[in-house]
Structure 1
Amino acid sequence: MTPSRLLLFAGRLERSLWFRPAVFAALAVAAPALAPLFQPYVPEAAAERVSIEDVDRVLGILTSGMLSVAIFSLGTMVSALQAAASAATPRARALISEDRTAQNAISTFIGAFIFSVFGVVGLVLGLFDAAARVAMFGLTLLLIFAVIVALVAWIRRLTQMGGVHEAVVLVEAATARAFAKVAAAPWFRGRESDGPPEDATAVPAERFGWVQAIDAASLGAIADELDCDLHVAVRPGAAVDPLRPLAHVAGAVDAACAARIRRAFVIDGSRTFEQDPRFGLIVLSEIASRALSPAVNDPGTAIDVIAAQVRLLAGWSAMLKGLEPPGDRPRLFAPPLPVQDAFEDAFRAIARDGAGVVEVGIKLQKGLGALAALDPERYGAAARAAAADAAARARAAMGHGPDRAALDRARRDVGLDG
């Protein structure tokens, strides 16, 4: 496995819900075994004052309480995930499950329970002498303090967990990180591709799925070894199948080399946020569409999502301005992230589902007008096309003349009526 793929999967492992509890559990198992190592540092007076009954009593309190608290915390998190799926979108569940406060709290509670169980077992078996008992008592007090801190942080987190606003914030943050990766290496540290040569060898996928990530370092190394240009045909977020090329090589490619090229593309059954900012834009628009449904009727959330989309695209523009992309893989070529597609991902569903809501229509026109004025060279055409589409949908859906007039006035105010 290449370093890039190793870092990708290590990051996913570290963010998974079960990883931190597993690490805390391992530390909790090891802690009682390490208690005798503190024996030389324990004063004799302290060893005389702490009895087996004292340590057993405190550990018993932790044993009886922490398991219930851990189960309650897990149940609360499951409820928050279900609430986010029903109120926002199921795609936001992955981000909520990666919440650091929740993971730390659950890990602390489970670790405290396991530590206390193994501590009680050690006391029953007579594994701790007087000095080791003092060390165990000190470790228990430190653990109680950690439990208190985790419990307070968890209670504070519960006031925000699972809401639509939190889902919007988390998706916006994940999308911003993905845009930052794209802006730092828009062509994967290679050069922009204007299409492969006609005689290039296509390397298709071997399975159906979505491209989640691309190991560009491996592709660059393969291009250097072959001493020929390698054109990446898809970006993260693309749907692939055995008939769609992943890459084109300007030269002959044997089966072993084709297999290496395929391994550079992480393909699975769903899209992820890591290298796919368009997925984040789609998820945000899903949240807005659900808010605009007749069952929810929450145009305020849709307006918040439009503001988030505008911030993301404005931030992407700011990151690209004045940036000199690294080009240390001269034989690697890749297509840019299509601006037109990004605008459609962000705004088309909102324009469709919010066509009859004048407040949403006005916010769309103002947001798109701001983006067109902010970066007319990169965003001008796409923003004007999205604004014209939204205006046409709104005029067809609005039966009240003053609403249509307000929409047209908003377009004139931001310079989109031309």
Structure 2
Amino acid sequence: MAAAGGAAQPPRQYKLAPQSELRVEVPPDAPVRVRLVAGTAEVFGTELPPEGWVPVPPRSKIAIFTWHGATVELDGASESEYSSDETPMVIYVNTHAILDARRARARAAAAQGAPLEASQGPRVIIVGPSDSGKSTLCKMLLSWAAKQGWKPTYVDLDIGQGSITIPGCISATPIEKPIDIVDGIPLEMPLAYFYGHPSPSVSPDVYRALMKELAQTLDKQFSGNSESRAAGMIINTMGWVENLGLELLHNSIEIFKANVILVLGQEKLWKILKDATKNKPGIDVVKLHKSEGVVPRNPKYRQKTRSFRIKEYFYGIANDLAPHSNVVNFSDVSVYKIGSHQAPKSALPIGAEPVADPTRLIAVNISTDMVHTVLAVSYAKEPDEIISSNVAGFIHVTDVDIQRKKLTYIAPCPGDLPSKLLIASSLTWYEA
């Protein structure tokens, strides 16, 4: 049964056979909710509670999976919905079981006083082209691990979408319980470094530098916390897997010291990474099938999703937050950007080499060009600490008054900014 998007629909029931799933696409502006009537079922590793209605966030693509059979009820107009028994879930849960065993070995090693390397749990990096189901597999592996009592660290390197905080960030957060179906990744303690663009091609050196900063910070945390070290990491990556994208993928594997590489949906990439790591003992490269339920997204859809993620930051997933508008004098804040657009070698005189430092800090004059852009608030005390500092949060510029030298912005909470050092970006959002 497939639904006509936008048409009013009565609640409908699906009786799912064991090891099958109901795939649902939720439109951007029509509420959809789901209810477990009988049996047991889960959404990306998180169990559906019995009987109660659970709202599904707008623009979601979810799969309600059951191991032993279930009856579920849907209410609301979805863009599409259908059940399928073609699912890679058994392979995915077997992968989780292997990772779980490695965590247990790492914990036991730590208890015996083994060196840090021997007590390091799995550092799993999930790679594959766009729309291969990487972030979905991340959620499953994280939720299953949390259900077993582990607190794995989720690392998101996909600056185009941003599943921990807004797009344009390289970020990480500990996952202490299965990921909430409605609220998504918890935001209490994210560690975010602001790159400020939806693609690493704008400034790949800055992207690498920020990956290194995040990896070093996590290594420090792990060195003093054997439980976090044993639980390990689940690392999500972007879908650009050719040319510069592939080079940055190699960089991320090295920088985060990944010891398990899960390749989704592309045999060629699996072969490339297998060959690249064959002389590096202790790294497993595993090819996994992607789910047939993965839906391709075009660039326009991705852009809309980015805007939605930014709006969500300020207004909440259910549009239930009220951001605060504030005004500051130009003299009260300093805006910087990291890195400069450098001319390609082909545009330089013959024999000349580019000399600009690709990660240097550049002061930015406040102008009307900043209206509708997102700025990050840095934890840095001094400008030269910006690239090595994570960010406290984000503001959205709503007005720039050049004559009065006033900048108006919205922020998620009232009060003064925690820092006067702001980082510029190319991320824009237009309030409807």
For the aligned pair, the TM-score class normalised by the smaller chain equals under 0.3
TM-score (norm 2): 0.22
TM-score (norm 1): 0.23
**Structure having the higher Rg:** 1
- Between structures 1 and 2, the one with greater helix share: 1
- Between structures 1 and 2, the one with greater strand share: 2
